[in-house]
Amino acid sequence: MIGDNARQYPSSPQSPHDPSGIEVYNGHHTAPIPVYPPSTSSYTDTYAYHSYPKAPPAVEQQDSETPERKLCKIRISVFLIVISGLLILVTAGLALVAGLYGSKIASLEQAVPSLAGSIVTTLPDSPNDDNSNRNNTTPTTTSPARSSPSPSSGATPTGPLPAISTHIIVPNYKYVGCYVDDLERILTQGFAETGSIKMTNQACADYCGDKTKYFGTEAGQQCYCGNLIAERAIKANEWNCNVQCEGRRGRLQEICGGNFFVGVWERVG
């Protein structure tokens, strides 16, 4: 086969145009696809498929997670859960205790006002009681209280206080109540103090004797006498008279007024 540039190209042996195997082309042309000879042993050997060993399987990547820490062979998460549970139990217990104490305090606050009109109940006489009235069991009551303005010392605001019973009995006298005292004194016709006598209510009554209608004990060691109670006197709540008589120290409990509060008794016989 001869082209434009007079170059001869081999033609396919199967060309139907020219038995000599030469074809002539004018102008531009496209070279025919060469036809390879039939397969030979050398071709087969050259281009035969060869098997190769397969690539090794990919090694699975090991788990890279960090193992969980432990405390005393216990997982931290389990330990935290246990601690949280204990804290909840402790908190609940404290709340329960606080509620019980709160209800107890509330009940006491309700009970305290009921004591406003009473003093210590009658106590049994001691074998060492030197009063001569151990066999006298007659109870005594108070006279009506005055209605006066109340100072800040614990006196009753207005109106009479209820009748009360005394914690000890003095023959021929009745207990009329706890009064607020001052430097001018509400009983002014006699005075005695521990040192001259062992102060008790009976000792104060003996000291004042028949010369006065009233006697009163104060601060555990003072005795006052008088035929009347000063008009300015103010009746106080009984818990203000709360001082033990000096003459009863270590023996029978007996109250002789309070600090600037005088326990007043009135002669009835």
Q: How confident is the model at residue 214 (pLDDT cuts 50, 70, 90)?
A: very high
β-pair partners for 127? none
94 in a structural domain:
yes
Same domain, 105 and 137: no
Encode pLDDT of 161-205 as tens digits.
443 445 688 899 999 999 999 888 989 887 877 665 788 999 999
Same domain, 80 and 166: no
Same domain, 76 and 170: no
Q: How confident is the model at residue 145 (pLDDT cuts 50, 70, 90)?
A: very low
148 in a structural domain:
yes
| DSSP three-state, residue 224 | strand
46 in a structural domain:
no
Predicted confidence at residue 165, as pLDDT, reads 47
| DSSP three-state, residue 146 | coil
Same domain, 136 and 237: yes
Same domain, 262 and 188: yes
Same domain, 86 and 186: no
- The distance from CA 163 to its chain's CA centroid, rounded to whole angstroms, is 42
Encode pLDDT of 55-102 as tens digits.
666 555 555 556 666 666 667 778 788 889 899 999 999 998 888 888
Closest CA to 176 of 115, 218, 229, 112: 229
Structural domain harbouring 27: 1-37
Residues making up the chain, counted from first to last: 269
Same domain, 83 and 188: no
Global pTM value: 0.41
The contacts of residue 233 (CB under 8 Å, 6+ apart) are 146, 148, 179, 180, 186
d(Cα 103, Cα 109) in Å, to the nearest integer?
A: 10
Encode pLDDT of 38-56 as tens digits.
555 555 555 555 566 666 6
Q: How many domains, in total, are found in the chain?
A: 3
Place of tokens 């990547």: 61
Same domain, 253 and 214: yes
Same domain, 100 and 123: no
Q: How confident is the model at residue 125 (pLDDT cuts 50, 70, 90)?
A: very low
**Could you give phi then psi for residue 2, rounded to 5 degrees?**
-120, 130
